[in-house]
Structures are given as structure tokens and as C-alpha cells.
């Protein structure tokens, strides 16, 4: 089973490694892979109205399972994030997922279409209606985070889902410290840089060497490095079951010397990156 940690203010212990569902190519394979992941304890499942067909596949994957053992997250598009639009988008996501509530509902990103406060007001309504347990955001910088947190009032901001991989560690400069200080979980997306490619050159060799020494694979070491902070959760996407099995082995504590080697090989450059 995957180790868990407390997810921001939710009171829920959530597995460090969950599952992403963007850009599914083979829906049948993706469904199998999701089920394998759920059986392995990767029960934090991330989807979005943007990911055409993905919510339906997730709905199939969780059908027949105990709903309270799944940590289900979906997202509203910024163009739909008016007060009424957010309520409508949530209803549509729930219908596609075949469930009565989301554990966290995220504003996918802020493009200025609607005031953040208006979207968060809708989130508050959805919480009061029992359609979502918590509100969250994605791709928010610290100013946007502060605005969302304050707009939510009595409701708590659960998480900020952000780009985080070995070549994009910018959140460590400001977003991650802000979230830690404010008790907000950080969910790192695209931990393999999205396209499944792999670091090459000197840095890639350093990663391979660490993996060899520890008897792990480079991808497992990548996940372990990115999840080293106790506020961070990761949602790698894999529609090949063997990839899911490999990734499930990536929730472990790296020794100090391995952390130092990787920190040097993949230096942090400040600033929030956006896919
Ligand atoms: P990712 O998880 O960094 O990489 C996915 C790619 O890595 C796929 O091609 C996958 O292949 C491959 N892969 C996974 N495990 C592997 C393994 N063990 N060995 C070899 N290849 C492996 O990319 P992502 O999909 O961009 O990010 C993850 C999730 O984050 C998304 O699915 C989505 O849920 C979320 N996300 C959110 C945002 C946002 O704006 N909030 C943006 C991007 C992503 P196969 O599929 O063939 O197994």
C-alpha cells in the first residue's frame, strides 16, 4: 500500500502517490491501469472537465468501490468559472463520474475571465450543498492563493495543484512555502514532465546512478525526490499497468546523500511554471 499523509486542512490521510488521467489514448487500457492503481492504494484520482472522456473512465474505475476510500478530484475550466457556471460544471462532472460528491473541486487555472472571489463563492455553495467536500485551486501563484483563501471565508482551501518535476522545481521558491505556512496541500502534476520522456546528459546519469545504488528505477527515485516534502502529493499519469506498478514503488524516503545528488543535478530555478 502507498503511504499516506494529511491532505492540507481536510482531515483526510491521502496516499502520497495518486493517479492522473489527462490525455488518455486507449480508454480500455487506462481503465485497467486505474483499477490496478486503486488496488495498489493510489486512490487519489485526478480528473477534469477539460480531459475529454476521462471523467467517464474514472467513473467506471471507481464504480462498485467504497466511495469513501477514493479521494476524487475534478476541475472547473476558467471560462466556466462564473458563480452559476461553476455550479453547472460541477453537476456535469458529477454526472459523468457517476458520484454524488467530489473530495476536492479545483479551479483549473485563473485566466481572469471571472473574479476569483466569484468562483470561490460558488465553491462555498457547493460545499454547503454537499456536492464537494473542499475547494481547491490549480496553477495559482501566491497572490492568487491569498485571494482564494480569503474569498473562501469560513471554508478552507484544500490544495494548489501545480507543475512539479525535476526540470520544473520553481514552486519550491514561493508557492510551496506559502502553502506549508497556510496548511494547504501541494499536488504536483506532470512529475515526469508530461510526455514520459526522460532526463538525459549528466543529470540523467546522476539520476540513474542514484537509482542503481538504491535498487530502484529512475522514475521511482524521481517520485521519491519530488514527494520528499510532507506537504506534497503527486499524481503521475500512466495508462500502462506496468507503469502504474512501477510508479507505486516510488513512495519511499531517499537517503540524504541521494537527495543532495539530485538537488545538485536538477537545480531549482525560482518561479511558478505553467504547462
Ligand atoms: P506525467 O504524469 O508527467 O507523464 C505521463 C507520461 O509518462 C505518460 O506518457 C505515461 O505513459 C508516462 N509514464 C508514466 N509512468 C511511467 C513509467 N513508470 N515508465 C515510463 N513511462 C511512464 O504527465 P501528465 O499526464 O501531464 O501529469 C499527470 C497528471 O497531472 C495528469 O494526467 C493530470 O491528471 C494532471 N495535470 C494537471 C494539470 C493542471 O493544469 N492542473 C496539468 C497537467 C497535468 P503511459 O500513459 O503510456 O503509461
Locate the domains of the chain by residue range.
Answer: 4-197+226-252
Give the model's pLDDT for residue 275.
61
Res. 178: pLDDT tops 80: yes
Å from CA of 238 to ligand 1 middle: 6
Res. 167: pLDDT tops 70: yes
- pLDDT tens-digit series, residues 189-204: 999 998 767 788 999 9
Q: What is the pTM of this model?
A: 0.98
pLDDT band at 50 (very low <50, low <70, confident <90, very high): very high
Q: Which helix H or strand E contains 175, and what residues bound it?
A: helix 175-181
Q: State mean pLDDT over 25-39.
A: 98
Task: Evaluate whether 120 touches 152 at the Cβ level (below 8 Å).
Answer: yes
CA atoms within 13 A on the CB side of 246: 17
Query: Could you tell me the three cell numbers for 105?
Result: 473541486
Backbone angles phi, psi at 14, to 5 degrees: -120, 140
Query: Could you tell me the three cell numbers for 212?
Result: 542503481
Q: How far apart are alpha carbons 65 and 57 in whole angstroms?
A: 14
By alpha-carbon position, which residue is closest to atom 4 of ligand 1? 194
pLDDT band at 269 (very low <50, low <70, confident <90, very high): confident
Asked whether 4 lines ligand 1 (CB < 6 A), one says: no
- pLDDT tens-digit series, residues 203-252: 999 999 999 999 999 999 999 999 999 999 999 999 999 999 999 999 99
- pLDDT tens-digit series, residues 146-155: 999 999 999 9
DSSP 45: E
Question: Parallel, antiparallel, or unpaired for β 13-15 and 4-6?
Answer: antiparallel
Homologous superfamily, domain 4-197+226-252: NADP-dependent oxidoreductase domain (3.20.20.100)
Q: State mean pLDDT over 64-73.
A: 98
DSSP state letters, 1-31: ---EEE-TTS--EEESB-BB-SS-S-HHHHH
Ligand 1 atom with least separation from CA of 196: 7
Query: Could you tell me the three cell numbers for 92?
Result: 456535469
Q: How far apart are alpha carbons 69 and 177 in whole angstroms?
A: 29
Ligand 1 atom with least separation from CA of 24: 46
Out of 42, 49, 160, 189, give the residue to mutate to test ligand 1, the one with the largest number of ligand atoms within 8 Å of its CB: 189
Amino acid at each position: 500500500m502507498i503511504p499516506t499523509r494529511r491532505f492540507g486542512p481536510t482531515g483526510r490521510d491521502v496516499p502520497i502517490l495518486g493517479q492522473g488521467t489527462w490525455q488518455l489514448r486507449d480508454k480500455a487500457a487506462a481503465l485497467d491501469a486505474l483499477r490496478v492503481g486503486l488496488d495498489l492504494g493510489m486512490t487519489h484520482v485526478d480528473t477534469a472537465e477539460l480531459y475529454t472522456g476521462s471523467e467517464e473512465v474514472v467513473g467506471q474505475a471507481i464504480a462498485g468501490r467504497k466511495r469513501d476510500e477514493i479521494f476524487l478530484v475534478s476541475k472547473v475550466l476558467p471560462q466556466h468559472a462564473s458563480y452559476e457556471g461553476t455550479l453547472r460544471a460541477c453537476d456535469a462532472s458529477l454526472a459523468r463520474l457517476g458520484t454524488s460528491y467530489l473530495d476536492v473541486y479545483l479551479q483549473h487555472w485563473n485566466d481572469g475571465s471571472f473574479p476569483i472571489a466569484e468562483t470561490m463563492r460558488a465553491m462555498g455553495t457547493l460545499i454547503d450543498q454537499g456536492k464537494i467536500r473542499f475547494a481547491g485551486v490549480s496553477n495559482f501563484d501566491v497572490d492568487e492563493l491569498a485571494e482564494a483563501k480569503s474569498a473562501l471565508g469560513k471554508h478552507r482551501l484544500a490544495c494548489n495543484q501545480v507543475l512539479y518535476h525535476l526540470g520544473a522545481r520553481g514552486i519550491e521558491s514561493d508557492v510551496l512555502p506559502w502553502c506549508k505556512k497556510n496548511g494547504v496541500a501541494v499536488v504536483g502534476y506532470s512529475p515526469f514532465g508530461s510526455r514520459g520522456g526522460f532526463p538525459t546528459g549528466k543529470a540523467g546519469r546522476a539520476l540513474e546512478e542514484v537509482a542503481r545504488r538504491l535498487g530502484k528505477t529512475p522514475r521511482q527515485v524521481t517520485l521519491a525526490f519530488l514527494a520528499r516534502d510532507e506537504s506534497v502529493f503527486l499524481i503521475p499519469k500512466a495508462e500502462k499497468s506496468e507503469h502504474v506498478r512501477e510508479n507505486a514503488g516510488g513512495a519511499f524516503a531517499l537517503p540524504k546523500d541521494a537527495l543532495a545528488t539530485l538537488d545538485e543535478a536538477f537545480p531549482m530555478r525560482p518561479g511558478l511554471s505553467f504547462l
